[in-house]
A and B are shown apart, each in its own frame.
Chain A
Amino acid sequence: MSDRPEIVFRARGLTRTYRSAAGDVQALRGVDFTAAQGDFIVILGPSGSGKSTFLNIVGGLDAASSGDLWFKDHHLTALDERGLTLYRRDHVGFVFQFYNLVPSLTARENVALVTEIARNPMTPEAALAIVGLTDRADHFPAQMSGGEQQRVAIARAIAKNPEVLLCDEPTGALDSATGVRVLEALVEVNRRIGATTLVITHNAAIQEIADRVLRFADGRIVAERVNASRKAPAEVSW
């Protein structure tokens, strides 16, 4: 076993072009990227720079127009719809700005939704414990605050013990204090299960908590920074 963590993502020349009658939009114009096991990566960049597009391709929700993307030994850019579904199911956890919880299921049930189809899940209770929501397990989304709902979404994302955790503006709809709690949950998860974590945010302050920071502009990664030391979420504020 070497000290160097295993490389989990390798991307070469990823592009994504949206075709429409009004004209083509080049959302990604050639992205090269690698990420190692357990990396906590924050992605910054102006609106429309292609961050979500990139994350969606990495998460197997969207297909690149050209270029290659590898997850370990899975050639993601060669997979079909069914293959991508399996990839998401087995390896990826998602957290989104709008939580996307199922309103008719309790917190526990929302998490169980995923653990029921996962290969190697933790219990819903364990996942909720990680995000500090043990006592809200039987509440429905309508009975919880936005921050709590987002933490349920994180619990749901991590309950399968994913190798990848992808978060698109997870704190976007939350106030600062709540956002910190959510970030703490993400960091905690990253530490505990060692999932490679990519977090898109508009909040530059958040970059302090990352191992690496990618900056997107105009469909490319224009800057990359490695933090020598990471701050705890509680230390950053906005």
Chain B
Amino acid sequence: MPPLRRKVLRDLVRLWPQALAIALVLAAGVATMILGNGAFASLSDTRTRYYESYRFADVFADVTRAPLALLDDVRAIDGVLAAEARVVQLALLDLPSLQEPGAMLLVSLPENGAAGLNRLHLRQGRLADPGSSREVVLSEGFATAHGLRPGMTLALVLNGQRRELTVAGIALSPEFIYALGPGEMMPDPRRYGIGWLPRQALAAAYELDGAFSNLVVKLTPSASVDWVIEQVDRLTVPYGGTGATARADQTSHAFLDAELKQLGTMVKVLPPIFLLVAAMLVNMTLSRLVTLEREQIGLLKAIGYSSRAIAQHYVEFVLAIAVVGIAMGAVAGQWMGAELAHIYAQFFAFPFLVFSRDLGLFFLAALVTAGAAVSGALLSVRSVLLLAPAVAMTPPAPADYRSQGGSLWRKLGLRQTSVMTLRHLLHRPWRTLSGVLGMAMSVAILVASLWSFASIDRMIDISFFRAEQQDVQMVFGQPEPPRAAFAARAMPGVMAAEPFRAVAATISHRNVSRRVTVFGRPAMPQLSRVLDRDLRPMDMPEAGLILSEALAQGLGVRQGDTVTVAFLDGSRRTVNLPVSGLSVGYVGLGASMELGALHRATGGAEAISGVNLLIDENQAPAFFHAAAAAPETGFLSVMALTVAQFRATLAENITVMITVFVGLAGVIAVGVIYNFARISLSEQGREMASLRVLGFSKGEVAAILFLELAVIVVLAQPLGWLLGYAMARAMVAAFSSDLYRVPFIIGPGVHATASLVTCAAAVLSALAVRQRINRLDLIEVLKTRE
């Protein structure tokens, strides 16, 4: 092995803690790159493959009841590759284990098995026998939540009639990767599942023989989605069609999309931070190494080594660190990727997960990382190239501190040791700045991840405690006349009932439009309310609309503007309505009207979609019993359960996320502070030993270094808060979709926690260096010239 190569290895061994600290930061960059990109690719590849293999539809439409013959017209539409008419109905679960009845979405199985769209992936058992009226295939999440296996039975209330079904099989469907019950915010597999039944049996139960209630359409690659939707709407309107939706608006797909969007943001934000910090650390460390080895460099040049060979030596040293970092990062990235895939698998129902061990990605990550490390080394290597041998071999002139302020410090009344510290920091402004910036990144990462706690609390507080005051929302199976509200009011335990109507509509302004559900509420809602910007409940205007801020923003409208509302219910009326007010809200796009105004706007047919109820806690069992038995009950949404599920799901995800972010921030903080401390000690070790000789105690000498680190850490805090604030803002923007928006709230606790965590990491690194201060050799320093 050439001697210079051997020196690389020796240097690595000698400087291993510093090299390791840098390697860890690089590893974090590689890991987040591999993890983020890998998870992104994994999720989107899995979805694509799943959709393709199981023929996931492109267009979806609900009707009340349409004759099967209509299907031929749909198939004849230009661009339609395949179309399938299904019966899709919501049934109530009759499970003794659930006090509050859950629901099951029943979907008809295609008659001719394999030819269908949205094909099932069987996990256990078999498909239901087409001729049977007592067999059901269950979605896996639901089956698992209830411990149901093929052969076991399950009771459902279909169209008001209780029926015992036998589980034939357990399956997954591309249509329900994310199975969200109506009105819910998080999937709750205990209270909401999918059941696939033979078409005949299901049609018979809902009196839909020879008819269908749901249409799924697959398009040719060149088809225009909007145009096909128009044609489908034209065909389905007479049959109670509520407007076809494209895949982008399909619940399961849209939620997956939102998840992908978030991941994409992380992938863009995190790795560059680590690579930047790592480059700064390499720069600091290497420039110190080159300074220390100045004479050796001169000697090597004098005996005939080319500048290139020597420069290459230092680049090799950096590359060796990079290789270690890349290797650690790759392993960690793969491992964390597997963990993340595990979380996804729990959250999204995929039959398989493509976690691609993408070599291309790995090489790219390795290349980018090595590039970042080497670019950090460039300045120092340049100084190696420029060093003339004769100059190099004379010891460097003593550091010149003339410009670092003389009398100013004295006027401040600082101790000399503090003056030492401050001058030392000022003497290498770029390094000091790098230290501050690196540390600030650590703070920023924490701020940018911790803020979500307050935001979620805020989301829950606004959505569930201030806006929605009902205990239970009862959604009818189909629209009912207004007197249904009185029937609900009469149920046991009901203390108050408030009707609502939900009508699908397209709201447009100029050339922007959004598909929303327009809610009709009483003039002065008491239970399900919308809030103005000051969080006061709003009264419903006589004629106009109240839009959520998200929707108003999406449409580009302000209060007082007029929007065009095309109702997608049977009336198919299109009206112009003023925007009478804006409401806050974080879930979905909201539009509300006064109930009567909505009736008038849609053309008079007075119907309600459900009631919001206040329930006497003591009579809850009786209520749920009665509600489950009532024929109009389609679905019961229990607020307390919704909140609990929302919290539990988020808590789990956030705990994982926070752990990862605290770890990553810790890696940066330790990497920066440890390296900074070691370099500073290397520069000032001699002075510190001299101070020990002069009678300074170990503690007093360590305090000099600690003060230096403290200055870095303290300066980094406000900068880190600022950067974190900016990052959080960017994340809010990236996380917000039409499905939900995230309120942007950073409480003071966030800053304090971020600062505490980073300070703790800094203190640990400082303590690691303190050992070295304690071991300073007092006598050695007297014998040698620097």
Contacts and interface: CB of A to CB of B under 8 A. Distances in A.
Are A and B physically bound partners?
yes
Interface of A: 52, 56, 59, 61-62, 82, 85-86, 88-90, 92, 94, 96-98, 100-106, 109-110, 112-114, 116-117, 138, 140-143, 156, 168, 173
19 contacts: A59-B693, A61-B779, A85-B698, A94-B693, A98-B785, A100-B781, A102-B420, A102-B690, A102-B691, A103-B401, A103-B687, A104-B420, A105-B401, A105-B416, A114-B695, A117-B696, A138-B406, A140-B401, A168-B782
A100 B782 contact: yes
- Contact count band on B: 35 or more
Interface in B417-469: 417, 419-420, 423-424, 427
A221 B687 CA distance: 32
Nearest to A162: B695
Interface stretch (B262-270, B392-400, B578-586, B625-633): B392-400
Contacts of B55: none
Contact of B697 (A61, A85, A143): A85
Contacts of A140: 400-402
B425 to A, nearest CB: 10
B406 A103 contact: no
B692 A85 contact: yes
Contacts of B420: 102, 104-105
Given A98-B785, A156-B694, A116 B415 contact: yes
B693 A112 contact: no
B356 interface: no
B399 A142 contact: yes
Given A98-B785, A109-B416, A56 B779 contact: yes
Top 4 closest pairs, chain A to chain B, by CB: A89-B695, A104-B423, A88-B695, A100-B690
Residue among B400, B404, B424, B786 with most chain A CB within 10 A: B400
Contacts of A141: 398
B776 to A, nearest CB: 12
A142 B694 contact: no
Contacts of A113: 416-417, 691, 694
B640 interface: no
A106 to B, nearest CB: 6
B439 to A, nearest CB: 22
Nearest to A118: B695
Contacts of A52: 779, 782-783
Contacts, number: 98
B694 A88 contact: yes
Most chain B CB within 10 A, of A89, A104, A109, A112, is at A104
A114 B694 contact: yes
A62 B779 contact: yes
B655 interface: no
Contacts of A110: 416
A105 B427 CA distance: 12
Given A142-B401, A142-B402, A105 B419 contact: yes
Interface in B680-701: 686-687, 690-698, 700
A114 B695 CA distance: 8
Contacts of B779: 52, 56, 61-62
B112 interface: no
B695 A117 contact: yes
A104 B419 contact: yes
Interface in B15-32: none
B778 interface: yes
Contacts of B400: 140, 142-143
A92 B415 contact: no
Nearest to B694: A114
Contacts of A173: 785
Interface of B: 397-402, 404, 406-407, 410, 415-417, 419-420, 423-424, 427, 686-687, 690-698, 700, 778-779, 781-786
Contacts of A90: 695
Nearest to B416: A113
Contacts of A89: 694-697
A92 B696 CA distance: 12
Contacts of A103: 398-399, 401, 687
Contacts of A85: 692, 695-698
B414 to A, nearest CB: 10
Nearest to B786: A98
A88 B784 CA distance: 21
Contacts of B416: 105, 109-110, 112-113, 116
B574 to A, nearest CB: 78
Query: Which of A86, A94, A109, A173 has the most CB atoms of chain B within a 10 A radius of its CB?
Result: A109
Contacts of A88: 693-695
B667 to A, nearest CB: 31
A142 B398 contact: yes
Given A56-B779, A61-B778, A105-B416, A142 B397 contact: yes
Contacts of A96: 782
Nearest to B784: A98
B399 A104 contact: yes
A113 B700 CA distance: 12
Contact of A61 (B398, B419, B693, B698): B693
Contacts of A142: 397-402
Nearest to A98: B785
A105 B406 CA distance: 9
Contacts of B694: 88-89, 94, 113-114, 156
Contacts of A156: 694
A140 B783 CA distance: 22
Nearest to B399: A103
B689 to A, nearest CB: 8
A89 B698 CA distance: 12
Given A52-B783, A113-B694, A143-B402, 5 more contacts: A85-B698, A89-B695, A94-B693, A100-B687, A143-B400
A104 B416 CA distance: 10
B427 A82 contact: no
Nearest to B420: A104
Contacts of A62: 779
Output the residue of A59, A88, A140 with the most chain B CB within 10 A: A140
A3 B782 CA distance: 37
Nearest to B410: A109
Given A82-B697, A89-B696, A113-B694, A100 B686 contact: yes
B719 to A, nearest CB: 25
Contacts of A104: 399, 401, 404, 419-420, 423-424, 427, 687
A114 B696 CA distance: 9
